[in-house]
Amino acid sequence: MSEWTSVIAVYWVLWAVDGLKRARVRTFSFVGNDSARARRLIYDRWMLPAALPTSWRLNTTDVPLALSPAGVSNQPIASTGRPPEVPARIQAWRWAELREAGVARGWLYLNGQPFCPDTGHVTAAQLLALARLAEPERERQIQNLIRGWLRPVHLRRRARVLVGRTAGVVSCNLAAFLLTLVISVYVLADIATKLGEERAAVIAGRLPIVVGVVFALHVAAIIIAGRARKRLRRVPPSSRAPGLLSPAMMPPQALRLRALLGENYFPASHPLAVALALGDRSMREQCAFNTIGDLRWPLPARADSALAQEIAAWFAAALQARLTPLLEAAQLSAGKLLQPPAPDSPASRSYCPRCRSQFVTPSGRCPHGIELAPLVRTDGSPR
Ligand SMILES: [Zn+2]
């Protein structure tokens, strides 16, 4: 049985590390299962694989740039992530100055200089196209881009379609997963010696049949996945469908076919749109609070070029205009989300509206440079 032990060990090690990835920037991973709802939200550079074959995943990042009819800058506005990803140096270009744009090693380059991470929210070709447009049309196209990032209803529908079209794949995956788990426990816990020679011999005779069934389930899953892949319509620019050759050759990888088919399937979105579409109440509230907080109390910029400020102001107003009806539809009012916290000690005099830390000084700035707001005390009259 020792050769079985090493095969099983290799199998599960491959399964455990498959899908483990480190992204260029901190990424939101919304992980859901059959209900097409996100159960888990992780914000990290490490993207961990989900354990069960039922899981799908939607990865997205904050929008890494700001656009306006005047130009483009790499200052993120309305970030949901905490801490947000901020560039080491803020750059801004007027459209007339933009001559070339390209992507290398996951980074967007403008005029030969590294600009911002290539997150899929806008492509190099789209930026060049914007630069060539006349102003009224350019503004229309920028508004179109923003609208494309903020479509919760569309995301919800796509999640439902993904779950529906991969149901057959998941059934095969789940059966194979459970059978492999049973075989593994049987071998690794050395159950054969505890059963007695006669019964162990019977099971040893049937083990190849069970392994054959697992293999048949694997082949079936790959075939069904091939069909599902054709029926899952992808949206440009992320139109590349994931390959199935690698999971076909590597059965442990094929246990996550739903997550694999979900790659590049969702359009690049603002994390708040994903939370509104797929998150539970607390996810939606947290993401809405962070996003509105970043819009109202942005971190102090490290470069104050007039152009960067102009772009930021226009972009913030445009995002705000799109976000307001979405938040209203989700019954999330800014007034309620941003209510001052209850004082956490009798000495608390002020708080930071962005990070909610409390301070004993009546005014000043929090360590991130945000101006403190006074804590309104109710003078011991409990409500
Ligand atoms: Zn703060």
- Higher-confidence residue of 197 and 173: namely 173
Residue pLDDT, tens place only, 32-81: 988 889 989 999 999 888 889 999 999 999 999 999 999 999 999 999 99
Q: Residue 2 above 70 pLDDT?
A: no
Within-domain flag for 279: yes
d(CA 261, CA 166): 8
Residue pLDDT, tens place only, 331-363: 998 888 999 999 999 999 999 999 999 999 999
pLDDT cut 70: percent of the chain above it: 96
Total structural domains in the chain? Answer: 3
Contact indicator for 75, 313 with CB cutoff of 8 Å: no
Q: Residue 167 above 80 pLDDT?
A: yes
Alpha carbon of 341 to ligand 1 centroid (Å): 13
Non-local (6+) Cβ contacts of 286 within 8 A are 275
Residues 159 and 206 in one domain: yes
Within-domain flag for 300: yes
Alpha carbon of 17 to ligand 1 centroid (Å): 37
Within-domain flag for 356: yes
Within-domain flag for 267: no
What local confidence, expressed as pLDDT, does residue 242 receive? 85
Alpha carbon of 344 to ligand 1 centroid (Å): 16
Residues 211 and 308 in one domain: no
Question: Parallel, antiparallel, or unpaired: how do β-strands 101-104 and 92-94 relate?
Answer: unpaired
Residues 36 and 157 in one domain: yes
Non-local (6+) Cβ contacts of 367 within 8 A are none
Residues 299 and 157 in one domain: no
Residue pLDDT, tens place only, 282-315: 999 999 999 999 999 999 877 679 999 999 999 9
Q: Residue 238 above 80 pLDDT?
A: no
Residues 235 and 171 in one domain: yes
Alpha carbon of 333 to ligand 1 centroid (Å): 21
Alpha carbon of 375 to ligand 1 centroid (Å): 14
Residues 32 and 71 in one domain: no
Residues 181 and 44 in one domain: yes
Task: Give the model's confidence band at 383: pLDDT under 50 very low, under 70 low, under 90 confident, else very high.
Answer: very low
Residue pLDDT, tens place only, 123-164: 999 999 999 999 999 999 999 999 999 999 999 999 999 999
What local confidence, expressed as pLDDT, does residue 379 receive? 55
Alpha carbon of 147 to ligand 1 centroid (Å): 30
Alpha carbon of 354 to ligand 1 centroid (Å): 5
Within-domain flag for 48: yes
Residues 202 and 350 in one domain: no
- For every residue of the chain, which 3-state class applies, written as one string? CHHHHHHHHHHHHHHHHCCCEEEEEEEEEEEECCCCCEEEEEEEEEECCCCCCCCEEEEECCCCCEECCCEEECCCCCCCCCCCCCCCCCCEEEHHHCCCEEEECCEEEECCEEEEECCCCCCHHHHHHHHHCCHHHHHHHHHHHHHHHCCHHHHHHHHHHHHHHCHHHHHHHHHHHHHHHHHHHHHHCCHHHHHCHHHHHHHHHHHHHHHHHHHHHHHHHHHHHHHHHHHCCCCCCCCCCCCCHHHHHCCCHHHHHHHHHCCCCCCCCCHHHHHHHHCCHHHHHHHHHHHHHHHHCCCCCCCCCHHHHHHHHHHHHHHHHHHHHHHHHCCCCHHHHCCCCCCCCCCCCEECCCCCCEECCCCCECCCCCECEECCCCCCCCC
Residues 326 and 285 in one domain: yes
What local confidence, expressed as pLDDT, does residue 304 receive? 72
Within-domain flag for 217: yes
CA 164 to chain centre: 21
- Higher-confidence residue of 380 and 31: namely 31
- Residue 179 sits in which domain range? 2-60+153-261
Domain boundary among 206, 232, 261: 261
Domain boundary among 261, 290, 324: 261
What local confidence, expressed as pLDDT, does residue 382 receive? 37
Domain boundary among 261, 287, 305: 261
Residues 46 and 95 in one domain: no
Of the ranges 1-15, 155-169, 226-240, 267-281, which one carries the lowest mean pLDDT score? Answer: 226-240
Alpha carbon of 297 to ligand 1 centroid (Å): 9
Alpha carbon of 251 to ligand 1 centroid (Å): 48
Q: Residue 196 above 60 pLDDT?
A: yes
Residues 110 and 143 in one domain: yes
Residue pLDDT, tens place only, 203-234: 889 989 999 999 999 999 999 999 999 999 88
Alpha carbon of 275 to ligand 1 centroid (Å): 23
- Whole-prediction pTM value? 0.91
Alpha carbon of 171 to ligand 1 centroid (Å): 47
Residues 76 and 157 in one domain: no
Within-domain flag for 240: yes
Alpha carbon of 367 to ligand 1 centroid (Å): 6
